[in-house]
Structure 1
Amino acid sequence: MQLAKQNQEDSKIFPALLQLEADARHSEDLVALHYFIVNETRRLLRYQHAVLLTVTTRSPYRFKAVRISGSTLLDRSIPKIHYIERILDSLSTTNLRQDPMAIVHDQLPQELQQDWQILTLSFPLCVNLILPNGCLIGALWIEREIAWTEEEQFLVKRLASTYAHAWGYFEKNRKFDAWFYSKKKLGIISILLAFFLLIPIQHSTLGFVRVVAKDPLVVTAPIDGVIASIPVEPNQIVSQGEMLIRYEDTSYRNEFTIVEQALVVSQAELKKVTQSAFQDEKSKAEIALSKAKVELAAIRRDYAKEMLDHVTLLADKQGLILFNNKLEMIGRPVKIGERLMEIAEIGKLKFRIHLPVENNINFTIGAPVKIYLDTDPLHSIDAKVTQIGFRAEAVPGEMLVYTIEAESVEEMSHLRIGWQGTAKIYGDTVNLFFYLFRRPLAAARQYVGY
């Protein structure tokens, strides 16, 4: 019967222990936890009075009461509070264990035994609150009129471990908050942040880059007409005098034939008038007019011959011929002066960079550039800015860009015209604040209108 009663009591204790531990961990803050420890522990253990103390100094340990049971405020004028603190201070060098320690009159130092009557209860028990890392953060003092059993001391030890763990969590956050929100620390953080934001760095920006020919010879349409054939291929090396384009020559050839026949007729008329002038005075007056007609016909013949000679477009220099789709050009009518091709000197290349307007920064001629081509993105090519466009131009994709040109400081013979990639242009030295907030500040200025 007695065993069954004992089992029934045990079955109630352990759920209460688990609930008490859970409630302790769910305390809102450190103050609430302290109040919980000295008052709510009664749900599991019977005692008349409890005092919670915190460690104020180490080496040696010194304790200070922070909460007593049955009261919302701690009155430090109570002699008993100071006496308990003195007892724990005297035991701190020898009592750093986790097991609860019963406080016995005869085991206290002589000066503390004289004030034993201050304790109104006969059986005080003290347990240290130690973190998992072994750090002592406080102690719990509980006392009552009857002796403590081994089972109760086990529960006290278990609760002390739980309370220490919860206390350590709040203490860590409280120390961080106190450090972060203190005026001195805020001042230090502000100074460090200001110093960090004033660190000088080299401003840089990114743009789209393409390898193009340097100083190419532009081939333009010499006459109006329709392209009949193109005997060369894009990126082919051509020699000086080699045919590049042939026009449809039907109209120019017919025109030349007509004006040539007109010249023959004019010459025949001049000859006739000249012969008649020896016999007819009237014919002498027509000689000057006939000569003018011959001269005009000759000019027309020469012009038609020049146009006919231009139906074949020849290369003015040796180099690499550059143009777009050959099939798209054949059969297309072109106007005189229209850009058709380029002849690039082999090995003379440069970079053309399209820099978006929103990415524009302050840089000058000679600014360093890093070129990362898509064909070899892991290696960069060093270059320098040689020309800066002052006017933004629209490019496909409805984007406004500045055209920047740069030349490599390295050998470029291994590059090919048309290769693309990314260019990183380095500008003036600015502070980190400007580097990070340039775009947000520009967007804010545009938004507010200043």
Structure 2
Amino acid sequence: MSDDLIALQRQVTGLSRLHQLQKKLREAQSAAQIGFLMVNDTLQLVNYRQALWWLPGKGVRNASGLVDVEKNSPYIRWANKLCAQLDTDAIQVVDKSALPADLREQWDEFMPAEAVAVPVMLAKGDGKKGLLVLARDAQWQPHETGLLAELADIYRFALRGQRRLPRKQVSLMRKRLLPVLLVVAVVLSILPVRITVLAPAEVVAKDPLPVRAPYEGVVETLHVRPNQSVNAGDLLISLDGTDLQNRLQIAQQALQIANTEFRQVAQQAVFDERGKLELAIRRGMVEKSVSEVKYLQSLLARTEVRAAHSGIVVLADANSWIGRPVALGQQIMTLADPVQAELRVDLPVRDAIPLQTGSDVRFFMNISPDEPLDARLDWLAYNASESDEGQLAYSGRARFSEGETLPRIGLRGTARLYGDRAPMIYYLLRRPLAALRQWIGF
């Protein structure tokens, strides 16, 4: 009973090893990997010392225990001669006495005493066979050669999966496909396509109202934040009025002095004819002081800048303005109507194409590039100027199509501008041709 159990265990072990070998063969990515498995992993099923995998016309491709085969080594050169003599259609145990004298003399030097030749069909349709040679000191038994015959079929199917088309067939396919591909390429090259270019774009306000400094001073407080909604009359900016307050106090004191002197001169003019002339001078000084007081009062009233109409505040950074000196008329912020938005496009000079008013524009926002918005080009500048990115570009404006949900002012993205139609070959070679003409000057 124990012998039967041992035999059953051996059979189960052999089937498991055969399954593992088949799995490795299926996962092999090339014929070279299959040859490596044949000379090394066959040892899991059949015991041997040396193994060779030989292909007709190519020689020994794999040898057990070697990663690379050195074709000019004495062992490989002798093995090539041996395999050429062992060309057979069936598994056979090698008979050394039937070999030529030069092979028999070097047998003991390169090969164990007993060897078996296993032919493997290469599945190329020309009847050629590879040869798997296994060698060891013990004689080969019939059940082992039977197992090797089954392995030869397994290796044949594995090699068939790596089969490639013969060179003649590949060459014939190329000759047939080449004219077809040329015709397809010519047809595709003359197909008319719309020329398009990409340009940086930003959603800006249409006809915004600039908020400027009313006089030369220093910003004391900003009462609003970027994108804040305001109504007409809301306080936006407070300028520092300390200097104006001091100047107003001085002017008021000067006015009081001028009034006092005017009254004194008026009393003297009743009895002195010369006082009447000085009275006119003092009246002029009073009027001058009154004008200066009124002027300073008007400036002081303008220290608080209020919104002229409702809208949203377009401002980059509120904190950067606090304490900053501003000149008369310098723009601090703008007020924009959120329902009056348009698209600003900066078309780089190197990508410029002929564009007409009303050309199609598609805007891809950075926050939602999968939901483009359609627009129409209103105008494009004739002269190039430096853009926010520091490159020369033609600035332009585009209006969003009716029915589109207007995006928030300040959002950025990429605009695709559509020009006229042209052959596809021109569309593909437009940039290379432009660079070539700049280089050769023609």
Q: TM-score range by the shorter chain?
A: 0.5 to 0.7
5 Å-filtered alignment, 1:91-240, equals 132=125, 169-176=166-173, 185=179, 193-240=185-232
2:304 pairs, out of 309, 312, 315, with: 312
2:413 pairs, out of 412, 417, 421, with: 421
Whether contact under 8 Å (1:216, 1:343) holds in the other structure is yes
Instruction: Provide the secondary structure at the position in 1 that maps to 2:369.
Output: coil
Matched, 1:446 2:424: no
Matched, 1:332 2:329: no
Distance 1:375 1:334, change over 3 A: same
Q: Which blocks of at least 5 consecutive residues in structure 1 are unaligned?
A: 1-17, 24-41, 46-129, 134-165
Distance 1:178 1:345, change over 3 A: closer
5 Å-filtered alignment, 1:252-267, equals 252-267=244-259
Whether contact under 8 Å (1:277, 1:284) holds in the other structure is yes
Matched, 1:286 2:278: yes
Instruction: Give, as a single letter, the amino acid of the residue that structure 1 aligns with 2:166.
Output: Y
Q: After superposing the two structures, state which structure 1 stretch, 196-205 or 215-224, moved more.
A: 196-205
Matched, 1:410 2:384: no
Instruction: Provide the secondary structure at the position in 1 that maps to 2:238.
Output: strand
1:346-376 Cα distance to aligned partner (Å, 9 max, x none): 3211111222222221112211111111222
Instruction: Give, as a single letter, the amino acid of the residue that structure 2 aligns with 1:406.
Output: A
Tell me how far apart the structure 2 counterparts of residues 318 and 341 of structure 1 sit (CA, whole Å): 14
1:175-227 Cα distance to aligned partner (Å, 9 max, x none): 3565578xxx5xx8766644432221111111122222111111011111111
Whether contact under 8 Å (1:349, 1:417) holds in the other structure is yes
Tell me how far apart the structure 2 counterparts of residues 412 and 174 of structure 1 sit (CA, whole Å): 56
Whether contact under 8 Å (1:347, 1:412) holds in the other structure is no
Instruction: Give, as a single letter, the amino acid of the residue that structure 2 aligns with 1:331.
Output: G
1:158-190 Cα distance to aligned partner (Å, 9 max, x none): xxxxxxxx9x83432443565578xxx5xx876
Instruction: Provide the secondary structure at the position in 1 that maps to 2:427.
Output: helix
Distance 1:413 1:216, change over 3 A: farther
Residue 240 of structure 1, CA deviation: 1.0
Matched, 1:299 2:291: yes
Instruction: Give, as a single letter, the amino acid of the residue that structure 2 aligns with 1:369.
Output: V
How well do the aligned residues superpose, as a CA RMSD in angstroms? Answer: 3.4
Report the equivalent of 2:149.
none
Distance 1:278 1:390, change over 3 A: same
TM-score (norm 2): 0.60
Whether contact under 8 Å (1:382, 1:410) holds in the other structure is no
Instruction: Provide the secondary structure at the position in 2 that maps to 1:362.
Output: coil
Residue 425 of structure 1, CA deviation: 0.8
Residue 261 of structure 1, CA deviation: 2.1
Tell me how far apart the structure 1 counterparts of residues 330 and 263 of structure 2 sit (CA, whole Å): 44
Instruction: Provide the secondary structure at the position in 2 that maps to 1:421.
Output: strand
Distance 1:413 1:284, change over 3 A: farther
Matched, 1:377 2:369: yes
Tell me how far apart the structure 1 counterparts of residues 405 and 228 of structure 2 sit (CA, whole Å): 16
1:35-83 Cα distance to aligned partner (Å, 9 max, x none): xxxxxxx9999xxxxxxxxxxxxxxxxxxxxxxxxxxxxxxxxxxxxxx
Residue 411 of structure 1, CA deviation: 4.2
Report the equivalent of 2:269.
277
Distance 1:341 1:429, change over 3 A: same
Whether contact under 8 Å (2:341, 2:406) holds in the other structure is no
Report the equivalent of 2:14.
none
1:355-407 Cα distance to aligned partner (Å, 9 max, x none): 22222211122111111112222111111112312332324543222222111
Whether contact under 8 Å (1:361, 1:427) holds in the other structure is yes
Whether contact under 8 Å (2:373, 2:404) holds in the other structure is no
Report the equivalent of 1:49.
none
5 Å-filtered alignment, 1:31-46, equals none
Q: Which blocks of at least 5 consecutive residues in structure 2 are unaligned?
A: 1-53, 60-83, 88-122, 127-162
Matched, 1:245 2:245: no
Whether contact under 8 Å (1:381, 1:410) holds in the other structure is no
Tell me how far apart the structure 2 counterparts of residues 310 and 175 of structure 1 sit (CA, whole Å): 89
Instruction: Provide the secondary structure at the position in 2 that maps to 1:219.
Output: strand
Residue 302 of structure 1, CA deviation: 1.8
Instruction: Provide the secondary structure at the position in 2 that maps to 1:410.
Output: coil
Whether contact under 8 Å (1:349, 1:412) holds in the other structure is no
Paired-residue identity, %: 30
Tell me how far apart the structure 1 counterparts of residues 435 and 335 of structure 2 sit (CA, whole Å): 44
Whether contact under 8 Å (2:374, 2:404) holds in the other structure is no
Matched, 1:346 2:338: yes
Report the equivalent of 1:5.
none
Tell me how far apart the structure 2 counterparts of residues 396 and 333 of structure 1 sit (CA, whole Å): 24
Tell me how far apart the structure 2 counterparts of residues 262 and 411 of structure 1 sit (CA, whole Å): 65
Distance 1:404 1:318, change over 3 A: same
Tell me how far apart the structure 2 counterparts of residues 371 and 175 of structure 1 sit (CA, whole Å): 49
Distance 1:412 1:307, change over 3 A: farther
Whether contact under 8 Å (1:369, 1:385) holds in the other structure is yes
Distance 1:412 1:214, change over 3 A: farther
Instruction: Give, as a single letter, the amino acid of the residue that structure 1 aligns with 2:172.
Output: K
Distance 1:189 1:239, change over 3 A: closer
Distance 1:411 1:344, change over 3 A: farther
Distance 1:284 1:250, change over 3 A: same
Tell me how far apart the structure 1 counterparts of residues 240 and 312 of structure 2 sit (CA, whole Å): 25
Instruction: Provide the secondary structure at the position in 2 that maps to 1:447.
Output: helix
Whether contact under 8 Å (1:235, 1:321) holds in the other structure is yes
